[in-house]
Amino acid sequence: MENQLKQKFLSELEQLRQIAQNRGLAVIEEAEQPWLQIGGKRLLNLASNNYLGLAGHERLKKAACAAIETHGCGATASRLIVGNHLVYRRAEESLVKWKGSEAGLIFNSGYTANIGIISSLAGRDAIIFSDRLNHASIIDGIRLSRSECQRYRHNDLDHLESLLKKTTPSKPKLIVSDTVFSMDGDVADLAGLVTLKERYGALLIVDEAHASGVFGPYGEGYVHHLGLQDRVDVQMGTFSKALGCFGAYVAGDRWLIDYLINKARSFIFTTGLPPAVLASAAEAIELVQEDWQRRQALQENSRFFREELARLGFDLCNSSTQIVPIVIGPNEKTLLFSQKLQQLGVAAIAVRPPTVPDNQARIRFTLMATHRRQDLAEAVEKIALVGRELGVIR
Ligand SMILES: *Cc1c(COP(=O)(O)O)cnc(C)c1O
């Protein structure tokens, strides 16, 4: 007998193809930042999160190799069993010094950090207020928590306050937001969020995945950029983007970290990170504090790129960071846009629903510190060419 589920899956995949929303995996044959090779073709990489170009840095590679020599390749157990190697201590000490927080904790990835943090801090009796454009891992954390969730309009703090006002004062409240939004490249009104969380007695959790390494005097993140580190309860961020490694962290007070160690299931029930990953993350924390030139170069490249695309008449959402989307709208046209760019030697990704709202498909460009200005200028010309050809700009 034919399996009914298989038929259902096949027809769902066919439906996705029909609305140009199916996805597949492109093989990256070589990545020599900021270039990469796909299908034998060399492309300017405007699609990675390796914002500072640290993923291939000599110091990170050396640190990782040395850790493999000393500690081997696997952690061999979860951290609460016997997987908590010395490299964890070194990395968490570096983290705490960098953040200036009382304590810190490393999770296996940004995804597992968010699902663990949110589901453990928010119980069934709590209510979570979440920006509509928050990352999928935050949404999944909220689902796992089984709390009530109220989504407020993106960056609309009047809307957030009206929801907070309607909530029974005795109910435990959490506010969750990205600091830099991953698909729009704009930033949260963090000062406003802090004011509201203090006014209504809520806990504030922020996700700095795209801000770690990029913002702040020492790359600590957007919270430090605004000097609000003492007024945000939970700062989560990742080593997987600007820091060029893998893994994620939480910085906060001692009670928070003790609680997560005891309650966050995605921390407890998984094997510790490989020693090589921790050693390179610890090295990246040091490097990112020293190397302010990379941060500056990234900012200058981002500004140049945004200004050029805005001048051409593209809709960049409210991007003010290294993430620069141009909104196209329909899926097919957006896919075609990215295919044409690829033919011209530019790698950029078509982001479609459900990652972004319906009819807001976009090309998401991401800048790097290591892009040369000349290469960016040539990419802008190609983007303009395709934009005119497809009627996105005039
Ligand atoms: C990428 C990302 C994550 C997930 O981090 P990983 O380390 O890749 O699992 C979480 N939150 C945001 C906002 C992200 O952009």
Would you say residue 13 lies in a domain?
no
Same domain for 182 and 245?
yes
Same domain? 249 vs 100: yes
Q: What is the pLDDT of residue 342?
A: 96
385 part of a folded domain: yes
Minimum CA distance residue for ligand 1 atom 10: 110
Residue 3 in any domain: the answer is no
- Among 338, 352, 375, smallest CA distance to 16 is for 352
Same domain, 335 and 265: no
2: confidence class by pLDDT, cuts 50, 70, 90: confident
Asked whether residue 361 falls in the same domain as residue 330, the answer is yes
Asked whether the beta carbons of 306 and 324 are under 8 A apart, the reply is yes
Do the Cβ atoms of 335 and 20 come closer than 8 Å?
yes
Cα 239 to ligand 1 centroid, rounded to whole Å: 9
Of 51, 109, 111, 181, the one to substitute when testing ligand 1's pocket (max ligand atoms within 8 A of C-beta) is: 111
In tens, the pLDDT along 153-176 reads: 999 999 999 999 999 999 999 999
Q: Are 222 and 210 in contact (CB under 8 A)?
A: no
243-261 per-residue burial string, b: 16 or more CB within 10 A, e: under 16: bbbbbbbbbbeeebbeebe
Which string of b and e fits 198-218 if b means at least 16 CB within 10 Å?
A: eebebbbbbbbbbbbbbbbeb
Residues 372 and 250 in one domain: no
CA-closest residue to ligand 1 atom 8:
110
- As for how many domains the chain has, the answer is 2
Which residues are marked as active site? 182, 210, 241
Give the number of the atom of ligand 1 that is nearest the alpha carbon of residue 181: 13
In a domain, 11, yes or no: no
Residue 1 has pLDDT above 80, yes or no: no
Single-letter amino acid, residue 297: A
Average pLDDT over residues 342-353: 96
On whether residue 12 sits in a domain, the answer given is: no
Ligand 1, from 112, 131, 135: best to mutate by most atoms within 8 Å of Cβ? 135
Q: What pLDDT, in 10s, does the model give residues 312-341? A: 999 999 999 999 999 999 999 999 999 999
Q: What is the 3-state secondary structure (H, E, C) of 208-262?
A: CCCCCCCCCCCCCCHHHHCCCCCCCCEEEEECCCCCCCCCEEEEECHHHHHHHHH
Q: What is the pLDDT of residues 225-280, one digit of tens each?
A: 999 999 999 999 999 999 999 999 999 999 999 999 999 999 999 999 999 999 99
Nearest CA to ligand 1 atom 7: 110
Q: 146 CA distance to ligand 1 centroid (A)?
A: 21
User: From the alpha carbon of 180, which atom of ligand 1 is closest?
Assistant: 13
Question: By alpha-carbon position, which residue is closest to atom 5 of ligand 1?
Answer: 110
Q: Quick one: which H or E segment has residue 15?
A: helix 4-18
Phi, psi of 233 (to 5 degrees): -75, -45
Query: 147 and 188 in one domain?
Result: yes
Q: Verify that 62 and 94 share a domain, yes or no.
A: yes
* pLDDT value at 362 more than 90: yes
Residue 360's closest CA among 374, 370, 349, 350? 350
- What is the whole-number distance in angstroms between the Cα of residue 246 and the centre of ligand 1? 10
Residue 118 has what pLDDT?
Answer: 98
Measured in residues, the chain has a length of 394
* Per-residue confidence (pLDDT) for residue 251, from 0 to 100: 98
114 and 229, same domain (yes or no) = yes
**Among the atoms of ligand 1, which is closest to the Cα of residue 239?**
7
Nearest CA to 306 out of 282, 326, 330 is that of 326
Query: How many whole angstroms from 138 Cα to the centroid of ligand 1?
Result: 9
Q: Looking at the structure, do residues 313 and 277 belong to the same domain, yes or no?
A: no
Give me the CATH number covering residue 299. 3.90.1150.10
Q: Is residue 178 part of a domain?
A: yes
| Boundary of a domain, candidates 290, 309, 333 | 290
Q: Do 126 and 217 sit in the same domain of this protein? A: yes
Dist. CA 209 → ligand 1 center (Å): 6
Check residue 355 and report its DSSP letter: S
Structure tokens at 366: 């991401």
Asked if residue 7 is part of any domain, the answer here is no
With a CB cutoff of 8 Å and minimum separation 6, the contacts of 188 are 131, 155, 177, 178, 179, 180, 181, 206, 222
Claim to verify: residue 284 and residue 200 sit in the same structural domain: yes
Substitution site in 49, 109, 112, 137 for ligand 1 pocket (most atoms within 8 Å of beta carbon): 137
Q: What is the DSSP string of 102-144?
A: SEEEEES-HHHHHHHHHHHHS-TT-EEEEETT--HHHHHHHHH
Q: Compute CA 315 distance to the chain's CA centroid, rounded to the nearest angstrom.
A: 22
Q: Mean per-residue pLDDT for 304-317?
A: 97
Last residue of a domain, one of 275, 290, 305: 290
Atom of ligand 1 nearest to the CA of 49: 1
- Three-state DSSP string of 49-89: CCCCCCCCCHHHHHHHHHHHHHHCCCCCCEHHHHHCCHHHH
- Residue 134 CA: nearest ligand 1 atom is 13
Residue to mutate, 49, 178, 239, 240, ligand 1, most ligand atoms under 8 Å from C-beta: 240
Its pTM stands at 0.96
Which tokens sit at 37?
Answer: 């090779």
Q: Which helix (H) or strand (E) holds 362?
A: strand 361-366
Mean pLDDT throughout 57-83?
A: 96
**Shared-domain flag, residues 75 and 169:** yes
Over residues 298-307, mean pLDDT: 98
CATH code for the domain in which residue 125 is found: 3.40.640.10
Ligand 1 pocket, residues with Cβ under 6 angstroms: 109-111, 114, 135, 137, 178, 182, 207, 209-210, 238, 240, 248
Q: Residue 98: pLDDT band by 50, 70, 90 thresholds?
A: very high
Q: Is residue 147 part of a domain?
A: yes
376 pLDDT above the threshold of 70:
yes
Measured from the CA of 238, which atom of ligand 1 is nearest?
A: 7
Nearest alpha carbon to residue 73 among 245, 278, 249:
278
Two structure tokens written together for 356: 């972004």
The Å distance, Cα 245 to ligand 1 centre, comes to 12
Tokens at 250, concatenated: 């939480």
Domain of 198, in residue numbers: 58-290
Q: How far is CA 308 from the centre of its chain?
A: 25
pLDDT tens-digit series, residues 38-66? 989 999 999 999 999 999 999 999 999 99
